[in-house]
Amino acid sequence: LGSFLDLCGVYQAQGRVEDLIRTASEGIKRFPAERRFYLTVANHAGRNGQYERAIEVFGEAHGRWPQDVQFKDGLASAHLYLGMQRLDKGQNEEAERHLRQTVTLSERDVDARLNLGRALHNLNRSIEAEQEFDRVIALDPKAPLARFHRGMVRQALGDLDAAIADLSEEIRQNPAYPPSYFSRGKAY
């Protein structure tokens, strides 16, 4: 174990990232009780947008050490970023799955709840979406775009007065976001 950790330290000091990750990955296989190997591999994967790999490694580590906040938070973040990536690509079912994992791991994550609400709205599950936006606003009344998205959902549900109220509040808080004006105009 000591020689693997020393080798990782040398590679890190020399900036030899590929060698570091290869050695830390081998360290996970040979020494599965050493947390530092998991952190090295998973954090590197997350920083490089390899969210599936980060989820795999953080997930394994979280399973081994469920009380370790670093692994739980890392796993939640990897699910969040993968969910947002899927949402941006219009893969709403995949986005929902990953964002739901995030809120399971981190109930107070405003970004995860906001994006989960967006995915649910895109999936035409407006009641659930509205509930997520309610949670976002309860957690952070000034969360950017929360009232915009809830206003859009309320408009889709036909509750135009509530939609106008949300969109007006979004405009008050964030006057530089043109879609709020457009959506409020449609609601009027």
Distance between CA atoms of 163 and 156, rounded to whole angstroms? 9
Residue 174 is given by DSSP the state: -
Look at residue 9 and tell me whether its pLDDT is greater than 90.
Answer: no
Distance between CA atoms of 12 and 20, rounded to whole angstroms? 6
Q: What is the pLDDT of residues 90-134, one digit of tens each?
A: 999 999 999 999 999 999 999 999 999 999 999 999 999 999 999
49 dihedral zone (left: phi>0; alpha: psi -120 to 50; beta): left
The whole-angstrom distance between residue 3's C-alpha and the CA centroid of its chain comes to 36
Distance between CA atoms of 100 and 104, rounded to whole angstroms? 6
Look at residue 75 and tell me whether its pLDDT is greater than 90.
Answer: yes
How far separated are the first and last CA of the chain, in Å rounded? 67
Q: What is the pLDDT of residues 43-62, one digit of tens each?
A: 999 999 999 999 999 999 99
Look at residue 1 and tell me whether its pLDDT is greater than 80.
Answer: no
